[in-house]
Structure 1
Amino acid sequence: MTNTTAGDNFDLKEEIRDYWSKRSETFDLAFGHRIAPGPEAEAWQKPIRDMLGLRPQRVLELACGTGEVTRLIHDLGHDVTALDFSEAMLAVAKRKHAGKDRLRFLLADAEQTMEPDATYDAIVCRHLVWTLTRPEEALREWFRILKPGGRILIYDGDWATPKPFGRLVARLIALIDFCVGADRNYDGALSDRHGRIMQALPFGHGLQAAELIPLLEKVGFGAIEVHSHEPIARAQRKGANLRNRLRTFVYRRFILTCSKP
C-alpha cells in the first residue's frame, strides 16, 4: 500500500477533485456511469432494496457524483444525504433532483465527512473505494458515523487489471475505436490523467473484495458478504451498442455488504 505524507495526500486529493470536476461536464453521457431506466436501474437498485428493506432509513451516499444512484435510493422512500467533494458534481446532482424532499446535499470529503457519530442507518457508495487515499482511515470514519447495526453497500471493482478474457475484449474495443473513432465520453480526453492518478492511489493496482475484507474486519465491521455484479452487467448489455456491451466483460466488479455490530 502506498505511503504518502500529509502534503502529498493533500496534493493528490486536489488532483482527484479537479479531475472529477472536469468529468462532471459530460459524466452523464458515459457508459457505466449513467443508469438507464428499466432493467439497468432495477438491477442497480435491487441490492439497495435487499439491504435496506421497506422501512425508511437514513442513508448517506458517499461520492454521489451527478446523482444517479441518489435517485435509486430516494425512489425507495429513504431519507438521503448525498455527499461529494466536487462542487461541480454536486451542481449537476442538485439540478437533476431539484425540489425533492427527503434529500440533502453535502459538500464534504468522503474520507472525513465531519458528520456526527452514529448518524446513519446505512452508507452506499459506487466506484469510490478504489479512489480512497487513506482507506483504513476512511473505513474508520464510516464506522463512526453509522448507528449500531448500520450497514454499508459498496459497488466497486478492479479497474487496473483486465480479466484474462478481458484483455482480448479490450483489444476488440481498441479496434472499434480505431475504425469508428474513440468514445470521448467514456473517459473524455483525460484518460492519461486518470492513469496517473491511479498510480498514486493505494488501490491503484486494482481493488479486489479479498483485499478489502481484512481492512473492514480490522476496523470492526462484520457480516461481510460479497455479491455478484453480473446481474447489473447483464442489464447494462441490454440495448447497449457493441462497444459498450464488450466493456462489461473487461474488468472484475463486485458488490460488498457489511454491518456495524
Structure 2
Amino acid sequence: MSIRQTNFDLKEEIRDYWSRRSQTFDLAFGHRIPRGPEFDAWQQPIRDHLGPTPLRVLELACGTGEVTALIHDLGHDVTALDFSEAMLSVAKAKHAGKDRLRFVLADAENPMEPDACYDAIICRHLVWTLTDPAKAFGEWHRVLKPGGTLLVFDGDWAKPTRLGRAAAWLIRRIDRFCGADRHYDGAMSERHSAIMSALPFGAGLRPDDLIPQLKQAGFVDFEISSHGPIAKAQRRGANLRNKLRTLVYRRFILVAKSAGASHGGEA
C-alpha cells in the first residue's frame, strides 16, 4: 500500500485512520487506561512534574480522552485538542458535564492557541506521528509560558527490543492458535505500517533523536524516565498476549522546560 508523500495528503490519511478507529480504540490494549494501578501509574509522572498547584494544561492529540482524565482529575484546567472529529466526539461524551475542560478541533502541529498561555503541554503516543516535527516543536514552545513543562509519553515503535523480538514471536503464535485480537490495530495494520513508513520518525523514535530538535525549538532541562512502572501496572491482570505486548518496544517518558518567550532559540 502506498501513501502519497505531501504533508497534506499524509495528514489526511492519518486523520482518516484514527477516525476509523475511534469507536473501538478504547478496546485495544494499551490505549484505554482503567482505574486502579494502571491509572495511578500513568498519573504519577504528571503528579511528579506538574506539582500540586492547578495549572493550565494543553493536551495534544487527546484521542478518546483517556489521558484527559489523568490530568483533569488532578485539578488542572485542561484544553484537550485533536484533529479527528470522531475521536473528539468520543472524548466529549466520556467527559460530558465537566468544568475546567475544553475540547478543541485542531492540529497538534499547529494548535492555533495564543502565545505563552499554557503552563504545561502533555501528549501520549503523538510525537512519532508528526509530519513536520520541527514546526510542531516550535509551536509547542510558542504556546508555553517561559519555564513551562513539556511532558511526552512515547516510544520506538519501529524496532522491537531483543526481548521484544521474542515476545513478538510468541504473540504471533498465540494469534495463530487463538485467533488475532481484532481490536489491536486489526485489519488496518497494513495501513498503519504504510503511514508509519512515510513519517519522519517512521524508522524509530528515541530520546537521542528527539532532544536535538527540541533544543532547536528552545527547550532545555531534559529528563528521561522509564516507562517501566506503567508497563508493570499494565501487566497486572492482563492475559499472556497483552503481558507480552508490554515487552515488545522500548518506551520512554521525556520532560523538558520552555527556555523563555522567544521562539526557536538555542538551548
1:74 aligns with 72
Q: Is the 8 A contact 1:27 1:185 kept in 2?
A: yes
Q: Does 1:160 align with 2:152?
A: no
Instruction: Find the aligned partners of 2:254 and 2:166 in 1 and give their Cα distance.
Output: 27
Q: CA deviation at 1:218?
A: 1.2
Structure 2, gaps ≥5 residues long: 260-267
| 1:78-110 deviations in Å (ceiling 9; x for gaps) | 000000000000000000000000000000000
1:207 aligns with 205
1:89 aligns with 87
Instruction: Find the aligned partners of 1:106 and 1:242 in 2 and give their Cα distance.
Output: 38
Instruction: Find the aligned partners of 1:41 and 1:168 in 2 and give their Cα distance.
Output: 28
Q: Is the 8 A contact 1:23 1:188 kept in 2?
A: no
Instruction: Find the aligned partners of 1:181 and 1:25 in 2 and give their Cα distance.
Output: 21
Q: CA deviation at 1:126?
A: 0.0
Instruction: Find the aligned partners of 2:203 and 2:102 in 1 and give their Cα distance.
Output: 34
Q: Is the 8 A contact 1:143 1:220 kept in 2?
A: yes
1:119 aligns with 117
Count matched residues.
257
1:171 aligns with 169
SS in 2 for 1:121: strand
| 1:152-197 deviations in Å (ceiling 9; x for gaps) | 0000000011001211110100000000000010112100000000
The CA RMSD over aligned residues, in Å, is 1.2
Selected match of 1:25 from 17, 23, 26: 23
1:45 aligns with 43
Instruction: Find the aligned partners of 1:151 and 1:166 in 2 and give their Cα distance.
Output: 31
1:61 aligns with 59
SS in 2 for 1:257: strand
Q: Is the 8 A contact 1:224 1:259 kept in 2?
A: yes
TM-score of the superposition, structure 1-length normalised? 0.97
SS in 1 for 2:187: coil
| 1:100-129 deviations in Å (ceiling 9; x for gaps) | 000000000000011110010000000000
SS in 2 for 1:186: coil
Q: CA deviation at 1:65?
A: 0.1
Q: CA deviation at 1:25?
A: 1.4
Instruction: Find the aligned partners of 1:96 and 1:129 in 2 and give their Cα distance.
Output: 24
Structure 1, gaps ≥5 residues long: none
Bigger Cα displacement from structure 2, 212-221 vs 12-21: 212-221
Instruction: Find the aligned partners of 1:143 and 1:163 in 2 and give their Cα distance.
Output: 32
Instruction: Find the aligned partners of 1:108 and 1:217 in 2 and give their Cα distance.
Output: 25
TM-score of the superposition, structure 2-length normalised? 0.95
SS in 2 for 1:184: coil
2:254 aligns with 256
2:189 aligns with 191
User: Taking every aligned residue pair, what percent have the same amino acid on both sides?
Assistant: 71
Instruction: Find the aligned partners of 1:210 and 1:253 in 2 and give their Cα distance.
Output: 13
Instruction: Find the aligned partners of 2:147 and 2:59 in 1 and give their Cα distance.
Output: 17
